[in-house]
Amino acid sequence: MFLVVGLGNPGQAYEKNRHNIGFMAVDEIVHRHSFSPWRSKFQGQLSDGVIQGQKIIALKPETYMNESGRSVQAAMAFYKIKPEDVIVFQDEIDLAPGKLRVKRGGGHAGHNGLRSIHAAVGPNYARIRMGVGHPGDKAQVATHVLKDFAKADAEWLEPMLDGCAEYLGDIMDGDDSSFMSKVAQKITPNRPNAPRLDKDPSGA
């Protein structure tokens, strides 16, 4: 059994914010795999379903970002889920928009949602770092992440969310490299006339 967590802030005012890309990813997973309707539990919204024969609990904490750990800890305790079987989707200002990385263990890099989860359950969970870009000035970070995505962002945002939902099974299998490659391919498909990487450019 896996716990899949999306980080964000509850309420209509925040739903299209960059900070809520984690909520968006989990919404797409629930939709694509026909999970149960959302219901209130563990200070959040909960849905469940099956992917690749495995039971998945999807959770969107409604505690606001900096208290996310309370909701995550409550769900983990109830379902007896180990940190290693927790997958968290988060916004990442240190990655360019449209870039994505998987990290397991290690620090929280100052992300308030991760800081709260670290404090509650430790660092040994997987996090999907979804790039939303940096405003260039540390003082502007809070304003940047609490702004809505621009319409132009749909060009990379929609395929990223789609890829996260389609290839979640790779994360469950521990194949982080495959997951990142497949999602990147969704975001930037190979051009028809692009040179093939498995061929010598000299034609040999």
List active site positions. Answer: 19
CB 141 within 8 A of CB 135: yes
- Start-to-end C-alpha separation, the chain: 49
Beta carbons within 8 Å of 113's beta carbon, 6+ residues apart:
7, 22, 65, 66, 68, 88, 90
Rounded to a whole number of angstroms, the CA Rg of the chain reads 17
Q: Where are the alpha helices (DSSP H) in 33-140?
A: 68-79, 112-121
Q: Determine the Cα–Cα distance for residues 16 and 107; give it in Å rounded to an integer.
A: 27
